[in-house]
Structure formats: C-alpha cells, structure tokens
Structure 1
Amino acid sequence: FSVDLSIAASLEGRELVHSHTWYANLAGHFGKLLHGIPHVMTAHSLEPLRPWKAEQLGGGYALSSWAERTAIEAADAVIAVSGAMRDDILGCYPDLDPARVRVVHNGIDTSLYRPDHGTDVLERIGLDTARPYVLFVGRITRQKGVPHLLRAVRDIDPAAQVVLCAGAPDTPEIDREFRELYQELSAVRDGVHWIPQMLPRPDVIQLLTHAAVFACP
C-alpha cells in the first residue's frame, strides 16, 4: 500500500498503523494510543450514509458508528478512494481538518484485469451470445441497491439479457425480497440469469468483457 507523496513526506521515517473500514479503524486508533504512532485510515464507505445497517446489525450499528467516528476524527491522515468520498467524509465529519483528507484512487492490476474475448463462461451460464446483456456483480445488500435494479429491468429493452452475479444477502428479509422480485421478473421476460455463488475471477472478467452495460444501482 502507498499513500500520496505529501502524506508519505509528513510521516517519513516513522512507524505507522494503517486501517481500512470501521472494523479495523478502532484497532488502528488503539494502536496509535498504545504505541504513540500515527494512524492512517482509508475510507471506502461511511456508517452515517448506511442507515440500513441498523436492519442488519441492530444495536451494533450504533457501535460501528461510534467506532468509525472515534477513529476518523483522531486519525493523522484519512485516505478517500475518490473525490466524491472525500466530500462525503467532510460532510459526515465536519470537525475533521480537510487538510488531513487526501484522495488516493483504488489501483487496478492490469495484468489480471484485461479483456477476455472467449465465450466459454457465457455459454456455460446459458447466455445467448448474439444478444447484449446488462451485468451486475455484487452482494445482495441495501447499499448495492439490487432490488432497484430488478424493478428497473422491466423498462429495459426486452432484447437485452440481464446477468445478476449476486449472493451473500445481508439479512433474510432482503434475501426474500430479492428472490420474490427475481421470480416476478423471470415470469414476464426471458434472459434473466441469476448466479448466486461467487464466481472465480477469470469468469467475472469474461462477463465484464462482453457486457453491454455494467449496472451498479
């Protein structure tokens, strides 16, 4: 992992602890306090913008929100994975010094993620290679908005197929909602393919290569 040059210069020659997401952020904060070393944290998402987590975690959502706020407001540097994430961080935590929040985009390993023009994965799934398809890859969570996509598909040109690489539902409730919407959709149009298991990376790359649209609702 590398931080941007200005962060690296300010912390040069010093041990530091780096954490991702609230699960580890509080541990990073404790490490800062115990050992007197800087804590750099990377924010991918923010608890105040995920109120549906209360549905999944109950009182644990209050705990995760406290852990994130405690760590982020005390961190020596905060890395946002995009400009929009930086805006969200400063909007959710106005007491945070903006000078401590820098943007470092996620890296992509181009030796792994490169076009795969084969069709064996598509054929195994049962896709019609002559028809375009809309692709979703992600967990079945409120954050991903998959139920919104299933409702919107009704208005997509029926010539298009839909591929849902969607699994690991957060709660039984959203699992049930997803399954009901999927069954309703499958009853009124063909070419809707649901893949609940996690596919190997090469399979996902081939699906991404051929997709007409990648949808992240």
Structure 2
Amino acid sequence: MKKIVVFSNMYPSVEHPTYGIFVKNQVELLKASGVVIDIQVIDNPKAGKVNALLKYGKWFASSLIYLVGNRKNLTLTHAHYAFPTGYISLVGKRLFKLPYVVTLHGGDIDKMPKKSPRIAKLTRTILQEASHVITVGERLKQEVVTSFGVSETNVTVMSMGVDRTVFHPLERAAIREELGLPENEPVILFIGNLIREKGVLELVQAFTALQKQLPDASLRLVGSAKSAAFVEEVKEYITTHQIEGIHFEGTKTQKELAEWLAAADVLALPSYHEGFGLVALEAMAAGAPVVASDVGGLSYLLADGAGILVPAREVESLQQGLLQALSGDGAINVAKREEIVHEHSYEMILEKLLKIYGEIERTR
C-alpha cells in the first residue's frame, strides 16, 4: 500500500480540540499500524453561510491541488461524510481513477440530502461510485441500501471505535474527589453539543421531576454551546423554575471526558436522532450505565439490555429510565455491554478497516 489521503469536514485544532476528534483518532490509529496517511481537512467549526462558503471553497481548492500533485503516489482516498466531503473523492476517481472509501456518520444521510434534490442526487452518485461505503450504524446501512441503491455487499457497518486505553473504569471515589464531586451525590452526566436536537431541554425537565425522588442528585452538562440562543433558553427555564443542581461544565479533553464518565452514575443521551452515538460507547467502556433515546444507531448499540432505551422527546419516560439506572436494580446487562465494547474496540475497528483497504488495493 502506497499512501492514503483522508478528507474530512471535521478535524480538531488547538483552538477546537474536540471538533471531529473521532476522525483524528482513526487517522492516528492507522498511522500507528504503519499506514502512510495525509490529511486534507477543515478544522474550523464556525457556522453561517459566508463562513461555510469560504472554508469549503478553500478546502476544496487545496484538496484538488493535493490530488493533482500526489495522484501517482496514492492507493485510495477516504472521505468522512458523503456530501460535500465525498465529492472531492468522486472527483479524484473521475479525473485520476483513484478508488475511494466513504464513511457516513448520520447527518450526511439524515439531513443533507433533504436540503435539495441536487444534493440528494450527488449523494447517491458519491455512494454508488465508492469502492466501499462504511456506515457507523446498522440503521444507516439499511438507509444506504434501500434509499440510495448501494449493494449490501459494498457496505460495512463499523463505528469509529473506542480507545480502551483512555475509556475504562476508574476508582470512582478518587476521581470524584479530583473533580470536586460529592462522594454520595447521584451524578447524571450529559456529553454533547448543547443544542435542541440532543434533547437537552427534555433532560432538564426530566431531571426536575427526578429531584422529587432524589433531591441530592445533580445534572452535569458537558459540551460546547453551539447554539447560544438555545443555551440561553435552557438557562432561562432553569431560572424560571428555580431548579438547583444543574451545572454547565464546558468542553473537555478526551482524558477529562473519560474521568467524568468514570465518575458518573449514568450518562443521559436523549437525542432526537443519532447516527451511532459514540459517547454512549465511551460511557459503556468506562462502566457507566447509559440511558438514551431509542433512535438511530443507539437502538442497536444499547439493545438486549446493554443500556436503557426510552422514546425520544418523552420527558416522563426519560425520567423513569434515569431512575431505573440510578436504582442499580440490575437493569443493565453487563456481559452484553462488555461484548459490545470489545466489538467496537480500536483493535477490531483497525482489523476491519485494513481489510477493506487491502481488498481495494488488490482489485486496482
């Protein structure tokens, strides 16, 4: 294998260390195994039409120049997200006969094609011309096969994986002391972007109802305030209803997230939709019970008692799910949870990915 270039519209930087960290982690995993990789990525999370046009325009031009200069040294390209990122891989195939792999993360199938018929058509073309399509969840695979006409044999379900050297159980009392958390306080943890679609407001409402049974409980919200207006709405709700015990903890590094997960009594992930739900897998690896919406990849990840699934947007069901997890009454199938964590470990992910790359190289 000569060299691979990874294209991604999300990648971390010094200023934004968690932005697309899962892509960087996979790149580093591949490099450690001996694969030679270059990256052409966007590390600027700024939203807005003008920002989007500028950053995507600059990235596309840079990526095209890269392909022109390196086409003879490349085995294949690997795009994360179908559109717009996968489009540069499609261009590379048509201009230079470079095969490509595309990894789908959820929004590129659930949201992007619905923006316009042209994007939907391009997405279909990108997926159908790919040498292989990777989906982070089973539901996404079914969508790709049934709605975009991709052969089932050309699609592999493979999450971004969990690094068990980072996410694993820790001594709770010591970690809580380090984080300044009371030893006997029930801690409900949320990790993710603080946006409406993550079910944050419903979580606040469920927590409020839960306090009647567990007055000492606290809710810790960890993540980026991507929507300042929504965060203000949540804070106004908290103030208006005089809710105590809710703390906005800001963003954290991977190491810090692992500590918070090891210290928590339960991770809540009440998303409206979720391609896979990587943070739920990380919580499972850290030994934290997970209560999540029965949507997307979460429905498969937490099946058979590996976690507690509740209907999305239903506050009362969410409250009951949290109470069930906090009661510790055997609601979680620990053996099943461990089986799933092993299945999604970096070692297993690397094995699958290298097999896909190898098969493409052999058929060139």
TM-score range, shorter chain: 0.7 to 0.9
Matches within 5 A, 1:159-198: 159=215, 160-169=217-226, 171-184=227-240, 187-188=242-243, 190-196=244-250, 198=251
**What is the aligned length?**
194
Q: Which moved more, 1:32-41 or 1:120-129?
A: 120-129
CA distance in 2, matches of 1:37, 1:88: 26
Q: Pick from 185, 195, 200: which aligns with 1:146? A: 200
Matches within 5 A, 1:191-206: 191-196=245-250, 198-206=251-259
Q: Letter of the aligned partner of 1:140 in structure 2?
A: L
Q: Find out whether 1:73 has 2:134 as its counterpart.
A: no
The 1:124–1:110 alpha-carbon spacing in structure 2 relative to 1, beyond 3 Å, is closer
Report the CA distance between 1:83 and its aligned residue.
1.8
Report the CA distance between 1:48 and its aligned residue.
4.9
The 1:143–1:101 alpha-carbon spacing in structure 2 relative to 1, beyond 3 Å, is farther
Structure 1 unaligned runs (5+)? 3-13, 55-60
Q: Letter of the aligned partner of 1:194 in structure 2?
A: F
**Are the aligned partners of 1:127 and 1:191 in contact in 2 as well (CA < 8 Å)?**
no
Structure 2 unaligned runs (5+)? 1-25, 31-73, 271-364
Higher RCO, Cα 8 Å, sep 6+: 1
CA distance in 1, matches of 2:190, 2:121: 32
Report the CA distance between 1:18 and its aligned residue.
0.7
Structure 1 equivalent of residue 75 of structure 2: 15
Q: Pick from 13, 34, 37: which aligns with 2:95? A: 34
Larger helix fraction of residues: 2
- The 3-state SS of whatever aligns with 2:255 is helix
Structure 1 equivalent of residue 266 of structure 2: 213
Q: Pick from 92, 95, 105: which aligns with 1:44? A: 105
Q: Find out whether 1:134 has 2:188 as its counterpart.
A: yes
Report the CA distance between 1:143 and its aligned residue.
3.6
Structure 2 equivalent of residue 58 of structure 1: none
CA distance in 1, matches of 2:214, 2:134: 42
Q: Which moved more, 1:147-156 or 1:66-75?
A: 66-75
Report the CA distance between 1:202 and its aligned residue.
2.4
The 1:115–1:76 alpha-carbon spacing in structure 2 relative to 1, beyond 3 Å, is same
Structure 1 equivalent of residue 331 of structure 2: none
**Are the aligned partners of 1:134 and 1:162 in contact in 2 as well (CA < 8 Å)?**
yes
Q: Find out whether 1:158 has 2:214 as its counterpart.
A: yes
Q: Deviations over 1:112-158 (max 9, x none)?
A: 22223265764566532211111101112344222222222222243
Percent of aligned pairs sharing the same letter: 24
TM-score, normalization: structure 1? Answer: 0.74
Report the CA distance between 1:24 and its aligned residue.
1.8
The 1:39–1:212 alpha-carbon spacing in structure 2 relative to 1, beyond 3 Å, is same
TM-score, normalization: structure 2? Answer: 0.47
CA distance in 2, matches of 1:28, 1:85: 20
